[in-house]
Amino acid sequence: MANHPSADKRNRQRLVRADRNQAVRSALRTAVKKARAAIAAGNSEAAKGSVAAASVALAKAVSKGVVHAKNASRTTSRIQAALHKAAR
């Protein structure tokens, strides 16, 4: 329990930010999962679109501070490489 008004406000802010970050992270995970599934299915056009959407979602998550930049870069690189490998 907060003993000062400022501590109470910080707690309210923490709760709002945690909910927002959770929503962004959940959408990000869904986008990456869809991209990996499309690559595994072998549909080239659908895979390209879903990989692009996942890359955008990763970039947005980085800009919002939800995931680390190197984590997003690594994930983007891996799904792009998987797409390239599946296309060959």
At 56-71, the pLDDT tens digits run: 999 999 999 999 999 9
- Domains of the chain from N-terminus onward: 5-87 (1.20.58.110)
Q: How far apart are CA 30 and CA 78, in angstroms?
A: 16
**pLDDT band per the 50, 70, 90 thresholds, residue 2:** confident
At 4-41, the pLDDT tens digits run: 999 999 999 999 999 999 999 999 999 999 999 999 99
pTM of the predicted protein model: 0.86
What φ, ψ does residue 78 adopt, rounded to 5°?
-70, -40
